[in-house]
Structure 1
């Protein structure tokens, strides 16, 4: 479990808090606004380890270097001066540690504490400050939080403000100087110029050494004239990281204060509104971490506890997987545990409150819990709340959510943790304007998915068995042919043995070596060899194809058929993707091949019961329609409005081919270009996809952007937005966090940039189909949703209701969002044999 060390810039924050509440004073006229603001902030960080850094108020080593250091600093306001002593008194009353060292500033103490403790792998360090000088510290282990803006200052924020990252901020400040501290810098050099120079030369020393190469005359002359000032300024803005500070990390562990002493302090300075908050806070610390206040089990005690839940209007429930214990809480200070043997007889007592609409149930993973408590209603799910806030930022295991939001360990009092989590996450949903995403989409979707999983889809096991036997015969025949071409038998599934046969024995052209040290036999290598006429490579590709169909699909699916229902009941994860899309597992029904003949044959095993039909409604070109709307691509918007073939239009633009003369092959290429480019495909990737040269692909991409310039603008805007914010948004406001978008490693950064382009489209498409599922579920009375696959919804209904259900699906799915969406509706006896319904309008 990661621990947190919080380092607070004591006087720095006091100054800022003072200017928020400058006129606040006691009845006797003693000013207290700054201290009040400080304590308000402090109450948010009283977990883990904490230390407050202070200035001594005396001269430090910088004054010895430069006598003019801070010479123009004005004295603090008169009504702030007495608050310095009150702040020290507050720190003592809260039983907190502080550090100050003569000869150094608080910034140096903070830098030393942060750097010294960053060596601990399991320790997260947060510096609470708004001081730009301390932004130099930001790295993977050290975060800076600005309490006035209520946000973490990320590397992207530093780049957005200064034009360079934290690692170059020291050199930038040396060039620009700082008027507030009377640090000279280089006269005439501002932030933009400094950032430009550092981008070009890399460091202050390189700039000074190569000053004669600077093209701009004024800039070059300034650097040459003020070289010594720049070096002096760097000394002044450098943070000392080796200040002698006694004690180790344990010294800063937060310890419970003397409640009476603390209360007396708060009364003395008339902080009356803080007294109940402080008492509750430290009462919570005792209950959660020590006594837990667990009520002993009995039916009578359970009824009393449930009555209290009713009066509180909320109840957290957590089922512990290992111990099979159900814990219940109505506050962070009270817990009721029902051991495994007592759960069954307790359900009758729990039932009325589980179905009550007057009591909010707070849980983790409602969908799984519903299998155990199917009656549960009126639920807030912290797993889904967390995903709605931090899509793609981290996983959403309970331990992770607690670590990111509470910084306490998961114990048997997890129901109590759910109460605390719920409070925190609800505040985030509201403050980040994500409550609608959670409330109207994700929260309601859970019940829809639970119903889909329960319903399942009927499967004809005999069809799968026949396919499996057919695949086995083809695999056996291919093995025989491969052995003949190789001149010996070997394990075709072994990359090492296959590599030996292809490159050592048969001496085929070698590709690149894999990490294992052997020559790669991946798909790309085999496809190149097959294209060169190597029969054995083509046979191995076919062998792999049929082996995967048999092992991953036909054989595996047979084992997944429920013996009672004769259906396959997949499981949907709501929190697994970075874009908001659902994922299917046990088994994964979203990756059954669709374009191959064999894949379609597998789909034919998914059937409708006698007297029923399967209806599949699939969004047509949804991501192209969305980019037309988001990027305002006029040519696309006009084409969609007029019902024209968008791929034929692109073929005309790129290849100069009229639609009446357009071959299916060229249309497929245009389709690849349309979808490939909006996914950020490279010339290399497009060349490979179309079987053309890289130069030809680059020309296609350039021509495409000249035809649709709005798409290029959109792509660049999304990359810049992701780099400065760390995320992009869907049309519905969902945050999709982008990892590595500012990475110095090219392939990681390029992948992230492609994600920044694609996520708003994929994420919006995900939101659209989720909202459609919720609305369809509410209105569908004569059928059941049995499957969701990417942009497709599949419903099972009686034959007599096919037209009405198809009409309803069209109405619901095409009207989720104010974008002209279209769906293609098909009906059939199986998922693999369907016909279009064309008369719905």
Structure 2
């Protein structure tokens, strides 16, 4: 029926904890923690957006838990007894979350002595009895008992669920797929399997599969328990007989109460337009300026009376709206996916190429068969030249029904991939057309494998990072992905890959998505990227981001893409031998550890290890966390080892070998590209807040360098026959930059004269240079620059905290410039909210003035080091961008696949592969480029030292 009512019941309690764990800490202008409040508000907003677009509910309410106590605690006093108390900084946010719900003018319902699930069940059944459909917004397995259809006064009325994390509907089929039984039997399955999170006992040893099988076979819990008498002797029989009472108690505990009081009548949940006043006031009060921006960016009056989208609510008046440093959004129409064009003929493609040439600025995005740019097939390309002026060019789609990719499947009309790319090449390489991408490095690598060059380029992800590193959303650490940027800056939620391709076993390749849906998804990506560029790029000159973006970040994008394509060769046989050696050594260590423990146990289990160390063996210093489990982290084990506990020393060795084996010697073999025979890491240009590159799939930046085992792994990275690897490493660059930025004459003098800087510090600190004083000086030099506390330094030096404070005081007496630098940096960051490198890279610290001491001190330590580490990152990036042109100019660039190739960047080090005969000439060029990388933008008062080595392997090059 057209006028059928549809009630949505939101499990708000689940939203709260998801929001808390999803976002970093945040405080409002009054210093109150509001990270979970912000996350909850954005999640509620997204739900509103999604439901509005789906034309879903007529009625909606949010249900919360009133307290942690319910009638179930009277039945079983251990119910939820093992749940830790809520985090200290979450407790004051609970009432604010209620305020957030009411700010949306939505009913916020909570009842004493029952749980949110019970209130949801009661409202769901009441609405269903009146013939309403009900959707429960939750993924809670307990609520799956309610799913199903019943006869109502005007026909069938159904209850289903919406899992917003997976954008998936949960109906009877999905419940049966999960539990193996129909929804009405779910409570019986839950009673058998129990629930450790809620401390529901169930029957020990009976897991989900066994529980489902028993209920499916016998029909209900009582029959399943009765069947135990006739079973053959087994553990299962013993457990069913012995723990029957536990299962029957558990059945009571998992049963939802469906007759709770209904404090808000169903009709009062009817959706109406959202009054802007309360929501604006709430967002202003807590400093949620990005959400205010989204609210301000909405259209005028709602189009229909139950419009949920806050951005479509009537705008608040201008009076009292805080502008801060917000930039106005360009005037753009709302995203209209129906406006996108699917380009299936050569004539249509030619028209789009002409349109791109005329526009001079085009957003480009690729759709592929996989995430690995070095192995993915190109499925299609999308282009956008304006808002809603976008297209999708399918290149490798199979039949539109999604029936598979076999050779006999019917293919939709599309241009041959080779022909389309040949036509697009001139435009993609034209200097007259700026190509915009979101993480365009990926697209560069995909297209390069098809012989297509793309330049010049801009990248909205990198622009966002140059502007908002560390700040994210109005002071919240947020990322720089397209969906996040779209929601943050445009107030728009793009289609997700899961919505288009599905998940799990039902997921289909993008090439099997029907073209109408593929066009909506792919063209929207290009459209959103174009809009983001229009919004973000003008902010660069206004907010001082142009210098670092244009001089450091943008030139680096194609360089890093090239390095990823180059990859590096690894010796599979050597890695396999190392894996075998590590496994053998781990086996020996296991035997020794078990002998010392007096029993066998799982060494990789912190729980079992803690029990052995602190209960059975009686070592002192054990401390339990909120889970009741002993901590066995590295610091604890190192302390025990230092006190003479041999078992702790061996566990530390076992852990190191285990990590190296799984992370490197095993994983690197699996990462070898079958087409190139090389390992191709992926670098993120936005992975570290200070601007450092990060490496993933596989991570090549965390291989231990100072240990013999780490060096063995580096020896497995090798050069092709006739070539060598060359490693060029900045020498103590952060200490050099500290000497320059803090203006410390004695340190600058030491670097100018090529002295051992740690020896100079040892002489200044201790009056003499010995092996011990130099080692201590080295620790102090780096620790001070990271803003270490007296307690942290005490742990590093093995002294008490008072002595460590004396060391810090002495250091500042000898090098007063360092203390001045630290003080001035903190003052500036506290005033401005961000630190800045010598090249103008800003790193935001939204919690630098937090009243929470832990948050504040953590931000202070990071703020002290960020300008130094960030400047170091900027310098090596500038060296990388200049390196290949300099080598080409010297006649040393790649020649027919040979010549010098830059392969890796690992913090302060660059790794090259080159013919052995080019080492001397290349070393001269590489050293000069790296030493002069800061100039002319920044003139340093100290020289940048570069250490260079070479060999057949990476290990030999050091």
Could you tell me how far 1:787 is from its partner in structure 2?
Answer: 0.8
Give 1:195's aligned residue. Answer: none
Tell me, what secondary structure is at the counterpart of 1:592? coil
TM-score by length of 1: 0.66
Given candidates 344, 350, 366, the residue that maps to 2:424 is: 350
Could you tell me how far 1:141 is from its partner in structure 2?
Answer: 3.9
Tell me, what secondary structure is at the counterpart of 2:717? coil
Which structure 2 residue ranges, 5 or more long, are not aligned? 1-14, 16-48, 50-98, 109-163, 165-273, 297-304, 316-327, 371-378, 398-413, 473-478, 496-520, 893-899
For residues 361-440 of structure 1, what are the structure 2 equivalents within 5 Å? 361-374=435-448, 375-394=453-472, 395-411=479-495, 412=521, 413-440=524-551
Given candidates 873, 883, 895, the residue that maps to 1:766 is: 873
Give 2:433's aligned residue. Answer: 359
Give 1:477's aligned residue. Answer: 588
Could you tell me how far 1:534 is from its partner in structure 2?
Answer: 1.6
Q: Does 1:581 align with 2:581?
A: no
Tell me, what secondary structure is at the counterpart of 1:834? coil
Q: Quick one: distance in 2 between partners of 1:724 and 1:115?
A: 33
1:346-380 deviation per Cα after TM superposition (whole angstroms, max 9, x unaligned): 22222221122221112212111123322222111
Tell me, what secondary structure is at the counterpart of 2:948? strand
Could you tell me how far 1:403 is from its partner in structure 2?
Answer: 2.3
1:606-627 deviation per Cα after TM superposition (whole angstroms, max 9, x unaligned): 1122222211111111111111
Q: Quick one: distance in 1 between partners of 2:663 and 2:342?
A: 49
User: Given that residues 834 and 842 in structure 2 are in contact (C-alpha distance below 8 angstroms), is that contact kept between their aligned partners in structure 1?
Assistant: yes
Aligned length: 599
Give 2:949's aligned residue. Answer: 826
Could you tell me how far 1:562 is from its partner in structure 2?
Answer: 2.4
Give 2:230's aligned residue. Answer: none
Give 1:311's aligned residue. Answer: 358
Could you tell me how far 1:256 is from its partner in structure 2?
Answer: 11
Give 1:636's aligned residue. Answer: 747
Could you tell me how far 1:511 is from its partner in structure 2?
Answer: 2.1
For residues 283-682 of structure 1, what are the structure 2 equivalents within 5 Å? 284-285=332-333, 288-289=335-336, 291-292=338-339, 294=341, 297-320=344-367, 325-339=380-394, 340-341=396-397, 342=414, 344=417, 345-374=419-448, 375-394=453-472, 395-411=479-495, 412=521, 413-657=524-768, 662-682=769-789
User: Given that residues 117 and 249 in structure 1 are in contact (C-alpha distance below 8 angstroms), is that contact kept between their aligned partners in structure 2?
Assistant: no
Cα distance change, pair 249–752 in 1 and its aligned pair in 2 (3 A):
farther
Tell me, what secondary structure is at the counterpart of 1:767? helix
Given candidates 786, 807, 810, the residue that maps to 2:903 is: 786
User: Given that residues 105 and 275 in structure 2 are in contact (C-alpha distance below 8 angstroms), is that contact kept between their aligned partners in structure 1?
Assistant: no
Cα distance change, pair 252–667 in 1 and its aligned pair in 2 (3 A):
closer
Q: Quick one: distance in 2 between partners of 1:119 and 1:390?
A: 32
RMSD of aligned C-alpha atoms? 3.4
Q: Quick one: distance in 1 between partners of 2:656 and 2:454?
A: 45
Cα distance change, pair 641–143 in 1 and its aligned pair in 2 (3 A):
same
> Which of 1 and 2 has greater Rg?
1
Could you tell me how far 1:124 is from its partner in structure 2?
Answer: 14
User: Given that residues 878 and 933 in structure 2 are in contact (C-alpha distance below 8 angstroms), is that contact kept between their aligned partners in structure 1?
Assistant: yes
Could you tell me how far 1:297 is from its partner in structure 2?
Answer: 3.3
Q: Quick one: distance in 1 between partners of 2:823 and 2:948?
A: 36
Cα distance change, pair 127–377 in 1 and its aligned pair in 2 (3 A):
farther
Cα distance change, pair 739–253 in 1 and its aligned pair in 2 (3 A):
closer
Greater Cα offset, 331-340 or 313-322: 313-322
Cα distance change, pair 300–544 in 1 and its aligned pair in 2 (3 A):
same
Q: Quick one: distance in 2 between partners of 1:725 and 1:449?
A: 32
User: Given that residues 118 and 142 in structure 1 are in contact (C-alpha distance below 8 angstroms), is that contact kept between their aligned partners in structure 2?
Assistant: no
Give 2:922's aligned residue. Answer: 805
Q: Quick one: distance in 1 between partners of 2:644 and 2:330?
A: 74
1:649-695 deviation per Cα after TM superposition (whole angstroms, max 9, x unaligned): 111121111xxxx2223211101001100110111111111112211
Give 2:860's aligned residue. Answer: 753
Tell me, what secondary structure is at the counterpart of 1:373? helix
User: Given that residues 138 and 144 in structure 1 are in contact (C-alpha distance below 8 angstroms), is that contact kept between their aligned partners in structure 2?
Assistant: no
Q: Quick one: distance in 2 between partners of 1:445 and 1:384?
A: 10
Q: Quick one: distance in 1 between partners of 2:541 and 2:459?
A: 15
Cα distance change, pair 510–312 in 1 and its aligned pair in 2 (3 A):
same
Q: Quick one: distance in 2 between partners of 1:124 and 1:471?
A: 65
Flag the structure with higher helix content: 1
Cα distance change, pair 454–290 in 1 and its aligned pair in 2 (3 A):
closer
Tell me, what secondary structure is at the counterpart of 1:517? coil
Q: Quick one: distance in 1 between partners of 2:716 and 2:656?
A: 19
Tell me, what secondary structure is at the counterpart of 2:554? helix
Which structure 1 residue ranges, 5 or more long, are not aligned? 3-47, 49-112, 152-246, 258-277, 836-841
User: Given that residues 126 and 142 in structure 1 are in contact (C-alpha distance below 8 angstroms), is that contact kept between their aligned partners in structure 2?
Assistant: no
Cα distance change, pair 291–544 in 1 and its aligned pair in 2 (3 A):
closer
Greater Cα offset, 806-815 or 352-361: 352-361
Q: Quick one: distance in 2 between partners of 1:473 and 1:685?
A: 36
Cα distance change, pair 697–379 in 1 and its aligned pair in 2 (3 A):
same
Q: Does 1:117 align with 2:165?
A: no
Cα distance change, pair 249–311 in 1 and its aligned pair in 2 (3 A):
closer
Q: Quick one: distance in 1 between partners of 2:361 and 2:277?
A: 33
User: Given that residues 639 and 645 in structure 1 are in contact (C-alpha distance below 8 angstroms), is that contact kept between their aligned partners in structure 2?
Assistant: yes
User: Given that residues 295 and 335 in structure 1 are in contact (C-alpha distance below 8 angstroms), is that contact kept between their aligned partners in structure 2?
Assistant: no
Q: Quick one: distance in 2 between partners of 1:127 and 1:439?
A: 42
Give 1:235's aligned residue. Answer: none
Could you tell me how far 1:290 is from its partner in structure 2?
Answer: 6.5
TM-score by length of 2: 0.59
Tell me, what secondary structure is at the counterpart of 1:618? strand
Give 2:45's aligned residue. Answer: none
Tell me, what secondary structure is at the counterpart of 2:533? helix
User: Given that residues 393 and 578 in structure 1 are in contact (C-alpha distance below 8 angstroms), is that contact kept between their aligned partners in structure 2?
Assistant: no
Give 1:173's aligned residue. Answer: none
Cα distance change, pair 320–607 in 1 and its aligned pair in 2 (3 A):
closer
Tell me, what secondary structure is at the counterpart of 2:538? helix
User: Given that residues 275 and 314 in structure 2 are in contact (C-alpha distance below 8 angstroms), is that contact kept between their aligned partners in structure 1?
Assistant: no
Could you tell me how far 1:125 is from its partner in structure 2?
Answer: 9.2
Q: Does 1:139 align with 2:223?
A: no
1:327-363 deviation per Cα after TM superposition (whole angstroms, max 9, x unaligned): 2121214222223433625222222211222211122
For residues 47-446 of structure 1, what are the structure 2 equivalents within 5 Å? 117=103, 137-141=284-288, 254=312, 284-285=332-333, 288-289=335-336, 291-292=338-339, 294=341, 297-320=344-367, 325-339=380-394, 340-341=396-397, 342=414, 344=417, 345-374=419-448, 375-394=453-472, 395-411=479-495, 412=521, 413-446=524-557
Could you tell me how far 1:776 is from its partner in structure 2?
Answer: 0.6
